[in-house]
Amino acid sequence: MANAQQAKPEDTEIWDPVPKVVTPGASCGDAPSDAIILFDGKNLDKWVQNNDKSAAKWDVHDGILTVNKNYGNIETKQLFTNYQLHIEWREPADIAGSGQGRCARRGF
């Protein structure tokens, strides 16, 4: 029994597989080393239309991705099963109507 009392917790810890070291971004807002950037503010190259897998048709302008409801949903080309998601968004300052069909009276 004396040996059991002397055991250290780290003697029983098994890390398999060994987790990768993740380096934070160099500055605030930069992605960590293990991130997969799905939208870089320039294009939708990593996205497709959900219904037919054609090129995504939402609008990209001045580094902003805007939903274009005329074209339906989009999805990533790459499939993910276990992930952490970081997302940033803005809302229009002045919104008319109610529900999902509402629209912005003014731009951002």
Summarize pLDDT for 49-65 with one digit per residue, the tens. Answer: 999 999 999 999 999 99
Residue 95 lies inside a defined structural domain of this protein:
no
The answer to the question of residue 93 being in a domain is: no
- Classify residue 45: in a domain, yes or no: yes
Cβ 59 vs Cβ 47: under 8 Å = no
Please report whether residue 18 resides in a domain: no
Instruction: Look at residue 68 and tell me if it is in a domain.
Output: yes
How does DSSP classify residue 15?
A: -
Domain that holds residue 68: 39-78
The domain total for the chain is: 1
Question: How far is it, in rounded angstroms, from Cα 94 to Cα 83?
Answer: 34
- Average pLDDT along the chain: 85
Residue 44 neighbours by CB distance under 10 Å: 20
pLDDT exceeds 50 at position 69: yes
Question: Is 44 among the domain residues?
Answer: yes
Instruction: Identify the band that residue 108 occupies on the pLDDT scale cut at 50, 70 and 90.
Output: very low
The pTM of the whole model exceeds 0.85:
no
Does position 91 have pLDDT exceeding 90, yes or no? no
Average pLDDT over residues 3-16: 77
Q: How far is CA 36 from CA 47, 53, 78, in A?
A: 13, 20, 10
Whether residue 46 is contained in a domain is answered as: yes
